[in-house]
Structures are given as structure tokens and as C-alpha cells.
């Protein structure tokens, strides 16, 4: 299980709220491999979802925390 540990002050507050919104059980994020990103984004957009890549996993986070910068 992943949990947001810190949210950098430079992150737009509206986006920060979406990441930790309890109405959505904590977030609206999907994690997929690089090789599937374009296909997934294209499929979501065809269904009317305004999908975007917003970040990447940059290391091993065994403690289960995510730092949003």
C-alpha cells in the first residue's frame, strides 16, 4: 500500500487535494509501465477521460510512502 508522505509547497493545492481526496479513497492515480503509457492514455482519451502523465517512479520506495514534488 502506498501513502502520500509529503506534498511539496510548489504543488498546486487543487491537485494536492485530488491526490488525497477521501471521497475517492485517497487518489485518482494509475501506475503503469513506460511501454504501456501511450496506449493507455490514448484509450482513456477515446473514452473522454482527460488523462495525463504527471510523474514517474524514480526509485525503490519500500517504506510505502510517496513524496509529491
Instruction: Kindly state the average pLDDT of the residues 8-32.
Output: 72
Q: What is the pLDDT of residue 11?
A: 81
pLDDT digits (tens, 9 = 90+) for 32-58: 888 999 998 999 889 887 888 888 777
CB of 6 within 8 A of CB of 67? Answer: yes
Its domain, for residue 12, covers: 3-68
* 44: helix, strand or coil: helix
Q: Count of domains in the chain?
A: 1
**Model pTM?**
0.49
Amino acid at each position: 500500500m502506498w501513502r502520500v508522505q509529503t506534498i511539496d509547497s510548489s504543488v498546486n493545492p487543487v491537485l494536492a487535494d485530488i491526490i488525497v481526496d477521501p471521497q475517492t479513497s485517497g487518489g485518482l492515480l494509475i501506475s503503469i509501465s513506460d511501454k504501456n503509457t501511450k496506449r493507455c492514455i490514448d484509450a482513456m482519451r477515446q473514452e473522454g477521460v482527460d488523462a495525463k502523465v504527471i510523474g514517474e517512479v524514480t526509485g525503490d520506495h519500500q517504506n510505502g510512502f510517496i513524496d509529491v514534488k
